[in-house]
Amino acid sequence: MARALPATIALIVFFALWEAACRGFAIPEFLLPAPSVIARAIAAAWPMVLNHTLATLGTVLLGFAASIAVSLPLAMAIASSTTIAAALYPLLVVTQSIPKVALAPILIVALGANEAPRIIVTFLVAFFPLVVASVAGLLAAPPELIELGRSCRAGRLQELLRIRLPFAVPFVFGGLKVAAALSVVGAVVAEFVGADAGLGYLIQTSMAFFRTPLAFGAVVILAILGILLFQAVALAERLLFPWSSGAERPALAA
Amino acid sequence: MIAIEGVGKRFSGRDGGAVQALEDVSLTVAPGEFVAVVGASGCGKSTLLRLIAGLVAPSAGRVAIDGAQVTGARTDTAMVFQAPTLLPWADVLKNVTFPMRLMRRAGPGTEDAARALLARAGLAGFEGRLPRELSGGMQQRVAICRALLQQPRILLMDEPFGALDALTREEMSLELLRLWTESPMAVVFVTHSISEAVLLADRVIVMSPRPGRVVDDVAIPLPRPRSFDQEGLPAFQAAARRIRDHIFRGQAARAAA
C-alpha cells in the first residue's frame, strides 16, 4: 500500500492541474475537456458506454487468448530446433513489419464485417513480443542444468517439461504483460477500421460530432482496461508462480 | 576404476577452425581415490570431466569405467558444477531429490535420505527454503547434497568452490572431505587452486594449457584426516612447489616462444 501512495498522489495532482488549467484558461470543451466534464459525459451515456466497453473487452480477451495459444507452441518449436528457428524467424519479422492498420481493412474485406478480423488484428499486434520473450526464456536455462538433465539421462521431452519450461516462466510473464497492453491497442486499431461497437468505434463516432468529452472518456476507459489486464497478469504470476515474481526480471521485450 | 587411454578431443570452432582441447591424455583413478586436476584456464580440465561423465565423446582414445567403454551418461556418476545451478522454483529438498526423480530412482526413502544428507551438510531446517533465500556457500552445499544423494561411485567436481569467497571455500573443502570419508567414492576434482588440490587429494594431475596434456602426476603423502595445519608441513610445501613449477615453467616457455 505504501508503494501505491506516491502514484496515487501524482495521479490526483495530475487531474487537479488538468481541471484547473481547463477552468483557468477557459479551454473550449471540444478541444480539451476537463476531467469533471469527461466524468459527467460518461455518466450521462453510461449504459451505451458499458456496451461498447464490453465489446472491446471481448475482442481484447479473445485476441490475447489467441496470441497465447499460438505463441507458446511456436516458441517451443523455435527453441527446440535451430532449423525451425531459421525458417520461422524471418516470417515472424515480416508479420511485425506490416503495419496492422494497413492490414485491417484488407482482413475485413476478406473475412467479412464480424468479430474475426478484429481478433486477428489484435492477435497480430500482441503475439510477437510474447514469442520473443518465450523463446528467450526457453533458452535461458543454464547449460549446466541441461547437462545435469543429460547426465540423469533425461530425454528431450523431460528436459523441456522439467527444466526449460519452468525456467521460461518469468520471461513468459514478461511477454504476457507486454502482450496484454498491446491487445488493447490492437483491438482499438481494428475497431477504428471496421466495427459497429467498441470503444474505438465510440471514439470515432463521438469525434465526428465533436463530442470530445465522450471520446476522452473512452480513452480513459481504455487506459483502465489496459492497466487492469496488466495487473491481472501480474496477479496470476504471483498466485501461480510465487517464486517467479521477484526472481531475475527479464527485460521487457519491446 | 576409471581408465582414460590416449584420449584426445577436438572441438570445431564457430569460425570453422578446430580447437584441440585435449591431446593424448592417459590416467587412471582407483575406486575411492580422490584425484585433483590442476591447470591454467583452457587446459581442457572441464572437458576431461565431461568425457568421464559421458556428456561428450572423445575424438581419439577411449574412456572406460570398470572396463566398460563410456558411451553415454551413466547413473553411477554425479557432477557438481562451479555454479550451484539449482532450480529456482523448487525448494531445497526438491532440488536435492531432483536428479533421483528425473532418473525415476526416487523411492519412499529418498526424501528421508535427502533430509539426513542436508543435516550432515549443516542445512537442517532449510529444506523448505527457495535457493534465492540461501547464501552462495549454502547453495553450493545443496548442489553437493544433490550429487551425493545419487550415491555415485564417481563424483565429478568442476571447480565447485571457484565462485565462493576464500573463507567459505576453506570451510567447504574440509566439509567435503568429511562427507567423502563417510561415503567412499572416487572423486575427480578440477580446480585452479594449487593449495586446494594438495589439501584435498591423494594425487594431483597437472595439465598443460591447450592442447591439454598430463604434465605430472603428483602423489600427496600427507596423512588423513587433512587439515589446514598441514599447509606448513614440508611434504605439503614440496608438493605445492612441484605443481607450481610445472604450471609457471609452462607459462614461461610459452612467453619465450
Q: Give the tens place of pLDDT for each residue, B62-109.
A: 999 998 899 888 888 999 998 999 999 999 999 999 999 998 888 889
Sequence-distant (≥ 6) Cβ neighbours of residue B47 within 8 angstroms: B9, B21, B22, B56, B212
Segment A93-119 shows an average pLDDT of: 87
Is the per-residue pLDDT at A251 higher than 70?
no
Residue A144: list chain B partners with CB under 8 A: 81-83, 85
Please give the domain boundaries of chain A with CATH numbers for all domains: 51-240 (1.10.3720.10)
**What was the pLDDT predicted at A32?**
92
Residue A162: list chain B partners with CB under 8 A: 102
A28-71 pLDDT tens trace: 988 999 999 999 999 999 999 999 999 999 999 999 999 999 99
**Residue A243 and residue B89: Cβ atoms within 8 Å?**
yes
Q: Which residue of A has its CA nearest to B131?
A: A243
**What was the pLDDT predicted at B248?**
83
pTM for this prediction: 0.81
Confidence of residue A100 (pLDDT cuts 50, 70, 90): confident
Residue B188: list chain A partners with CB under 8 A: none
Residue B79: list chain A partners with CB under 8 A: 147-148, 151
**Mean of the per-residue pLDDT values of chain A:** 89
In this structure, is the dihedral angle defined by the CA atoms of residues B208, B213, B218 and B219, taken in order, positive or negative? positive
Q: How close A124 gets to chain B, by Cα (Å)?
A: 32
Strand partners, B78: B155
Confidence of residue B239 (pLDDT cuts 50, 70, 90): very high
A194-236 pLDDT tens trace: 788 999 999 999 999 989 999 999 999 999 999 999 999 999 9
Is the per-residue pLDDT at B118 higher than 60?
yes
Instruction: For chain B, give every domain's residue range.
Output: 2-76+153-256, 86-151
Note whether B208 contacts A: Cβ–Cβ < 8 A.
no
**What was the pLDDT predicted at A246?**
56
Residue B154: list chain A partners with CB under 8 A: none
Question: Which of A142, A153, A167 comes nearest B103 by C-beta?
Answer: A153
Residue A244: list chain B partners with CB under 8 A: 89
**What was the pLDDT predicted at A245?**
67
Question: Which of B77, B82, B85 comes nearest A145 by C-beta?
Answer: B85
Confidence of residue A247 (pLDDT cuts 50, 70, 90): very low
What span, in angstroms and rounded, lies between the C-alpha atoms of A104 and A122? Answer: 10
What span, in angstroms and rounded, lies between the C-alpha atoms of B11 and B119? Answer: 42
**Residue A150 and residue B103: Cβ atoms within 8 Å?**
no
Please provide the size of chain A in residues. Answer: 254
B15-54 pLDDT tens trace: 777 888 888 999 999 999 999 999 887 778 889 999 999 9
Q: How close A212 gets to chain B, by Cα (Å)?
A: 50
Q: What angle do CA A104, A110, A115 make, to 5 degrees?
A: 65
Which of B56, B85, B149 to mutate: most A Cβ within 10 Å? B85
B126-151 pLDDT tens trace: 999 999 999 998 999 999 999 999 99
Instruction: Spell out a b/e string for A190-218, using b for 16 or more CB atoms within 10 Å of the CB, else e.
Output: bbbbbbebbbbbbbbebeeeebbbbbbbb
Residue with cell 506490416: A98
Is the per-residue pLDDT at A253 higher than 50?
no
Question: Which of A144, A152, A247 comes nearest B99 by C-beta?
Answer: A152
**What was the pLDDT predicted at A254?**
31
**What was the pLDDT predicted at B179?**
87
Note whether B73 contacts A: Cβ–Cβ < 8 A.
yes
pLDDT winner (highest mean) among A42-46, A106-110, A194-198, B182-186: A42-46
**What was the pLDDT predicted at A1?**
57
Between chain A and chain B, the number of residue pairs with CB atoms below 8 A apart is 54
Sequence-distant (≥ 6) Cβ neighbours of residue B161 within 8 angstroms: B140, B168, B169, B172, B173, B191, B196
Contact between residue B201 and residue B36 where contact means Cβ atoms under 8 Å apart:
yes
- Residue from B227, B89, B84 nearest B145 by CA: B84
**What was the pLDDT predicted at B45?**
87
Residue B54: list chain A partners with CB under 8 A: 151
Q: Which phi and psi (to 5°) does residue B156 adopt?
A: -105, 125
Contact between residue B52 and residue B188 where contact means Cβ atoms under 8 Å apart:
yes
Q: Which residue of A has its CA nearest to B88?
A: A243
Q: Which residue of A has its CA nearest to B74?
A: A151
**Residue A144 and residue B85: Cβ atoms within 8 Å?**
yes
Residue A153: list chain B partners with CB under 8 A: 72-73, 75, 103
Note whether B104 contacts A: Cβ–Cβ < 8 A.
no
Strand runs (DSSP E) across chain A, as ranges?
Answer: none
ipTM: 0.82
**Residue A169 and residue B89: Cβ atoms within 8 Å?**
yes
Question: Which of B54, B75, B79 comes nearest A148 by C-beta?
Answer: B79
Q: What angle do CA B175, B240, B211 make, to 5 degrees?
A: 95
Contact between residue B230 and residue B199 where contact means Cβ atoms under 8 Å apart:
yes
Is the per-residue pLDDT at B255 higher than 80?
no
A144-202 pLDDT tens trace: 999 999 888 888 888 988 999 999 999 999 999 999 999 999 999 999 887 889 999 99
B147-158 pLDDT tens trace: 999 999 999 999
A96 SS3 class = helix
Domain range B2-76+153-256, its CATH number among 3.40.50.720, 3.90.800.10, 3.40.50.300, 1.10.8.60: 3.40.50.300
Which positions in chain A have a beta carbon within 8 angstroms of at least one beta carbon in chain B?
142, 144-145, 147-154, 158, 162-163, 166-167, 169, 241, 243-244, 247-248
Alpha helices in A194-211 (DSSP H): 199-208
Instruction: Find the largest Cα–Cα distance for chain B.
Output: 62
Is the per-residue pLDDT at B256 higher than 80?
no
**Residue B78 and residue A243: Cβ atoms within 8 Å?**
no
What span, in angstroms and rounded, lies between the C-alpha atoms of B206 and B233? Answer: 21
